[in-house]
Structure 1
Amino acid sequence: MKITKGTIIRTLMLVVVILNMALKQAGKDVLNVSESEIGELIENLISLAIVLVGFWKNNSFSEKAKQADAFLKDLKESEE
């Protein structure tokens, strides 16, 4: 089951409304955030997550990944 972007935005807007109500009750300033701003924030966070995952997956940081790279290098050298 896939959660749509609209569902996420509407859920976050509900959280913003609840926060605004709580802030009003406490006599504090209200948050002025539009649905498009939340949508843009979500898109930016997803983009950042994709970049970080792609970078992590395509570079050898863990010890096992470094060992696998060395093994692959040895295989290529033995074929030549």
Structure 2
Amino acid sequence: MNLKGVSKSVWVRAIALFLVLVNLICIEFFGFQIIPFAETEIYEGVSIVVVTTVTIWTSWKNNSFTKKAQHADRFLE
């Protein structure tokens, strides 16, 4: 893995996913929320989680973590 060559947008998506997962684990296992959602905001919260998940899922193939993939990206450019 070549983490130094990973773009900022990849890091932002990875951190967003990590925060959502940590929030979900805290809610399910410990009963508290890191990212607070009132009952009226549940729809918005679920929408954010779905959008974040779908964004990472659909863009994962184009995120180059290895040196070989980054070299291929430079070759394509």
The two structures have a TM-score, normalised by structure 1, of: 0.38
Structure with higher RCO (Cα < 8 A, 6+ apart): 2
Whichever of the two has the greater Rg, that structure is 1
The two structures have a TM-score, normalised by structure 2, of: 0.39
